A = this chain, B = another copy of it.
Amino acid sequence: MNKHDKDKQPTPTTNSEPSQKLLDTKVSRRDMLRLTGATGLGLLLGGGAMGSLLSRGGTAAKAPVAPVQADSSIPFYANHQAGILTPAQNFLYFAAFDLTTTKLSDVKKLLQEWTTAAAALTTGRLVGNTNDSPNLPPSDTGEADGLTPSRCTLTFGVGPSFFDERFGLAGQRPSSLADLPPFVGDNLDPAWCGGDLCVQACADDLQVAFHAIRNLARIARGTAVLRWTQEGFQRTGEADPKNGTPRNLLGFKDGTGNPDVTDEAEMNKIVWQGSGDGPAWMNGGTYMAVRRVRFRIEVWDRSSLSDQEATFGRHRQSGAPIGARDEFDKLDLKAADASGKPLIPADSHSALAHGDGTVKMLRRSYSYSGGLNAKTGQLDAGLLFISFQRDLVKQFVTIQQRLSRNDRLNEYMVHVGSAVFACFPGVREGGFIGDTLLG
């Protein structure tokens, strides 16, 4: 929820009939990025057309966003891990694991096995031996057999507890990777917190994402166990053919102000650890904050539209800043009415998340819905907030402290889960997940 309206979140795409879509519809810049990413059409259009379509930043030629192959797979081996700058897929299956071994060699073996599995899972191949003996358990659990890769990405990280006394790696812990400080209003349940390892599985198909986590958990048996998991969703590309900014379960657009993931300089500033920032094994990696934020949906639903809009600092229907017309109009915190009262309340979510505009992060959140809360009988639904940043303290903690103290939105939500992870740099072919640390 944090920085809701500050940064523009990448929106998902369907990979079907891109050329048809290109002919049939007006092509937005974002559409074009998606289409070129998906099919390489950019090459056909040539530099000139691309240049005019991609005027902002002009970074199309070296866009760091992971490309999508014709079979809807996103390459696993790359400089950076996929699932970070990748335009958000429709579904998430997030899993935190605890290690049950105390041998570092076991951990290394697990990460090597996960590497092989991840390369298969993200390309729609079966995990393991495709010629299993019928007398053995199948290497792959089978529920994704025949399905396309569905832009599946698997993003791996390690939590602060990975650097405790068990593995002798305390000296390698990045300084910003520590359990988050308590924030005002936190109501954390240990069942939704922490983890030695994490895997963020994203895909345009929930069954594909489920299958990935299930098979990774299976491979981990004897070395690691699931600690907590969360499924997430947003509207599908098919339900929103215009690929607008997705709405959260409070009905507001979420991600309007996310930074431009195709701007390499900006991503280096906001997302990726550079050399000298922290331990060398994290160069090209990033830090992830995860917060399970339960919405007080029933309370929200009883508040007036004007209260809701004042809470976000934006109009619900258009997503525009209050007083402005279009979603992407500038968030002008100085705009005032005739009496001099700010149009966008200073304690609105947008205003506080934006602050003075100097601190940014990349958000990549998903809605969740998990039945009824056993205690209250109300819907257990909200947001699995996920952000990526170069420094957890300077970025996520700074913004979240500001929000937790004053955000009007706090009345309508409660943070019930929390975790942070250092997400390794990308894996080169022949290498393995985490080899910069354990290789």
**A-to-B contact residues, CB < 8 Å:** 14-17, 20, 93, 132-138, 141-148, 150, 191, 204-208, 210, 214, 217-218, 225-226, 228-231, 233-236, 238-242, 244, 247-252, 297-298, 301-306, 308-309, 316-317, 367, 369-372, 374, 377-379, 381
Contact = CB atoms under 8 A, between A and B. Distances in A.
A247 B205 CA distance: 13
A205 to B, nearest CB: 4
Given A138-B305, A147-B240, A230-B371, 19 more contacts: A132-B305, A134-B304, A136-B304, A138-B308, A141-B301, A142-B250, A142-B252, A143-B251, A145-B247, A145-B317, A205-B236, A206-B233, A207-B234, A207-B235, A207-B239, A207-B247, A217-B379, A226-B377, A231-B231
A135 B304 contact: yes
A379 to B, nearest CB: 7
- How many copies of this chain does the complex contain? 2
A207 B233 contact: yes
Contacts of A248: 143
Indicate the member of A206, A228, A370 with the most B CB atoms within 10 Å.
A206
Contact of A137 (B150, B205, B229, B304): B304
Contact of A377 (B144, B207, B225, B244): B225
Given A17-B16, A238-B205, A231 B146 contact: no
Contacts of A367: 207, 210
A301 B145 CA distance: 15
A28 to B, nearest CB: 15
29 contacts: A14-B16, A16-B16, A16-B17, A16-B238, A17-B20, A134-B305, A137-B303, A137-B304, A137-B305, A141-B301, A142-B247, A142-B251, A143-B247, A143-B250, A143-B251, A146-B240, A146-B247, A147-B240, A148-B240, A204-B236, A204-B238, A206-B236, A214-B297, A214-B381, A228-B371, A229-B371, A229-B379, A231-B371, A370-B371
A147 B377 contact: no
Contacts of A228: 371-372
B231 A369 contact: yes
A299 B242 CA distance: 44
A251 B286 CA distance: 35
A207 B252 CA distance: 13
